[in-house]
Structure 1
Amino acid sequence: MIKRPLAAVALTAALAVGAAACGGTTKNSSASDNGGAAATSGAKANPNAPLKKGLKLAFLPKQVNNPYETIVDKAGIAGAKEFGGTAKEVGPSDASASSQISYLNTLIQQRQDAILIAANDPNAVCGPLKQAMSRKIAVVAYDSDAAKECRDVFINQASSEEIGRSEIKVMSDLIGGKGKIAILSATANATNQNTWISFMKEELKKPEYSGIQLVKVAYGDDDDQKSFQQTQGLLQAYPDLKGIIAPTTVGIAAAARYIDSSKYKGKVAVSGLGTPNQMRKFVKDGTVKKFELWDPANLGYLASYAAAALASGQITGAQGESFKAGKLGSRTIGKDGEVILGPPTVFDSSNIDNYHF
């Protein structure tokens, strides 16, 4: 979600999502070497090409009622106006693996110039995304990646590895390096969540975390009530739990709300990825000491400019290509077509009032 915040967390993906993100996805070697699918289709970039006027962009978030995704998409829609384009947000109210497919089919029929998607499942959306690309529609994944061969570029909050490992470092600090912890994720198929979690597990293997035991990964499906209930269930199953990491903006808010009104307040640490506005109350009343995120508005803004550059022929998604992203300056495409927004930010009582999103 957060899923986010960091620049901040800049929630950086590690947030990023990216990596392990593709799970069982298969890809050809050229896509892996050169980046997104467009880079392997024979298209050539013209970095001097002007951005086309009147471009039509469509943002397809994991779910339209997710506060974090709303921030991202609104900023992307505003960004499109800067280069003379129009953009809209469409999407499902649930974050299931197949919920985005019907919306993709409609957007293809509407002949959008670019489709921007935060994938609920990297493979479930692959078929219609490939169809879009075959019709010269630019495909940008943001926040949560699609399979690499099914999009042109991926706009990552931050380095997925940095996000995952930093989440463990923050939690270790909160619980004094000892105790049982759990992870409250979004959906079981979310690319970004799974990538971050894989790096969390890797980080826990280090000797300095030998006193920390990960007892369970629970899934709240980015649904507030289900995440609240999952938090309750974790504490019933593990009454000696010391901490909960929720790398999703919906999950961290739900977990904090449960802890805030329970006997576990002050005894169970809650951290993860969240936005300052949703977490401010819990930070100020001591329920949450620290959490992370990047600036979700900048994520959407960057995605919008990347889509315009693709649709205008300035870039194809190949590693090493660069494009200008308005107020964010020039950005260069990295391996596997990934563009990283920046590192995550850690929010606590000392700085949270400096941020309003």
Structure 2
Amino acid sequence: MRSTSRTGVFGAAAAVVLLAAAGCTSKNDADSGTAATGGDETITVAFVPKLSGIPYFEAMNTGGQKAAGDMGIEWLYQGPTTADAAAQADIVRSFIQQGVDALIVAPNDPDSMAPLLQEAQAAGIKVATSDTDAPGSVREVFVNQASAEGIGQALTDQMMEAMGGSGKYAIVSCGETAENLNSWITVQESYTAEKYPDAEIVDIVYAGEDQAKATSMATDLMNAHPDLTGLVGECTSSAPGVAQAVRDAGRIGEVFTTGLGTPQSMAPYLEDGSTSASVLWNVENLGYLTAWTGQQLAEGNELAAENNVGEGMDAITFDSSSKVLLLGDPLIITADNVGDFDY
């Protein structure tokens, strides 16, 4: 294990920050989870999300902090305040300079992140991706929330259930270079054509990680396609964004929405019917699994085909050929179960 005796160790983790309606509160400093007192032997796992200060990645941070306390490691969390690949790269370089034991990234741009992961590996740091992959990089593991097929098909099925299996719908995605989002869209396109021949995806637009922009783009899509009956928000900022657009337009029950939104951000839209369902997974568990993976890599432990990680995560599968560690199947969040989640 690498020594963690160095200056600039981060302080205690900040509280979870919630998105405001028109933006988000950001943190500029790294947050660390509970670290066991082990002197130079404490394993340090750093996670760099696409963006800090939004409920999704703050929920991952909560899970990572819990894992740190359970496992006696140090968890460092810091992301850019905007979904910017260059700003994310600066944070990654900082963690490389600090000599963390394991560095795990959710890349905004997989291609530009790949050389940095190689640099980290050359420095003796174990490298992995989580939430979003960089498949062409030297990453040793991708901590995947659910399969691309599972997510893409679930998004499509939920959209088609609301639309009655036919009609025109559009997708409001986030970053154009986000590998996970693009892989889901590819599945949605093929799955819609194969299973729902009377349905059609008429447009795909990109709002970055900007909820207000997603609302504006969804409004433009409804105006450009008067016969549009569905909108999919492909990420946790665009899912509430498209629902807000339908609510603002007074078209609840005429244009149906679904997407990939965190429970509490989607709750008001599920309650008033401006969205039908949200497709997600247990985000805190994903953060926990990310921290656990960092510890396994730092200790040189080989992952098994099935891994017992923690409560509710007793059969986490690992595919050694693709090096993908899979959290599990997607979770469908509706008005009936949204109250079960506090993030």
TM-score tier, shorter chain, comes to 0.7 to 0.9
Q: CA deviation at 1:352?
A: 2.1
State the match for 2:84 in structure 1.
96
Show CA shifts across 1:48-107 (max 9, x none): xxxx95111111000112221111122112212221111121121121333311111111
% identical aligned pairs? 30
State the match for 2:244 in structure 1.
257
State the match for 1:326 in structure 2.
310
Which residue among 63, 66, 78 is the counterpart of 1:75? Answer: 63
Task: Call closer, same or farther: CA 1:330–1:266 in 2, change over 3 Å.
Answer: closer
**Equivalent-residue separation in structure 2 for 1:194 and 1:204 (angstroms):** 15
Query: What letter corresponds to residue 318 of structure 2 in structure 1?
Result: I
State the match for 2:124 in structure 1.
136
Show CA shifts across 1:13-51 (max 9, x none): xxxxxxxxxxxxxxxxxxxxxxxxxxxxxxxxxxxxxxx
Show CA shifts across 1:158-216 (max 9, x none): 1111110121111111111121100011110001100000100110221x411111111
Q: CA deviation at 1:323?
A: 5.0
State the match for 1:171 in structure 2.
159
**Residue 335 of structure 2 is aligned to residue 349 of structure 1:** yes
For the 8 Å contact 2:153–2:187, the answer to whether it is kept is: yes
Q: CA deviation at 1:321?
A: 5.6
Show CA shifts across 1:99-157 (max 9, x none): 31111111100001111111111111011110111122111211100134321101111
For the 8 Å contact 1:309–1:323, the answer to whether it is kept is: no
State the match for 1:223 in structure 2.
210
**Equivalent-residue separation in structure 2 for 1:224 and 1:271 (angstroms):** 15
Q: CA RMSD in A?
A: 1.7
Runs of 4+ in 1 over 4 A off after TM superposition: 320-324
**Equivalent-residue separation in structure 1 for 2:128 and 2:149 (angstroms):** 21
State the match for 2:21 in structure 1.
none
Task: Call closer, same or farther: CA 1:158–1:179 in 2, change over 3 Å.
Answer: same
Query: What letter corresponds to residue 326 of structure 1 in structure 2?
Result: G
**Residue 184 of structure 2 is aligned to residue 199 of structure 1:** no
For the 8 Å contact 1:53–1:84, the answer to whether it is kept is: no
Query: What letter corresponds to residue 144 of structure 2 in structure 1?
Result: N
For the 8 Å contact 2:192–2:199, the answer to whether it is kept is: yes
**Equivalent-residue separation in structure 2 for 1:336 and 1:240 (angstroms):** 42
**Equivalent-residue separation in structure 2 for 1:74 and 1:137 (angstroms):** 23
State the match for 2:29 in structure 1.
none
**Equivalent-residue separation in structure 2 for 1:78 and 1:196 (angstroms):** 29
Matched pairs, number: 302
Q: Which runs of 5+ in 2 are unaligned?
A: 1-39
**Equivalent-residue separation in structure 1 for 2:299 and 2:305 (angstroms):** 14
| 3-state SS, counterpart of residue 103 of structure 2 | strand
**Equivalent-residue separation in structure 2 for 1:276 and 1:104 (angstroms):** 29
State the match for 2:142 in structure 1.
154
For the 8 Å contact 1:167–1:272, the answer to whether it is kept is: yes
For the 8 Å contact 2:193–2:199, the answer to whether it is kept is: no
**Equivalent-residue separation in structure 1 for 2:277 and 2:318 (angstroms):** 31
Q: CA deviation at 1:322?
A: 5.8
Which residue among 38, 45, 64 is the counterpart of 1:57? Answer: 45
**Equivalent-residue separation in structure 2 for 1:257 and 1:226 (angstroms):** 11
- Judge which range, 123-132 or 228-237, deviates more: 228-237
**Residue 278 of structure 2 is aligned to residue 291 of structure 1:** yes
State the match for 1:271 in structure 2.
258
| 3-state SS, counterpart of residue 213 of structure 1 | strand
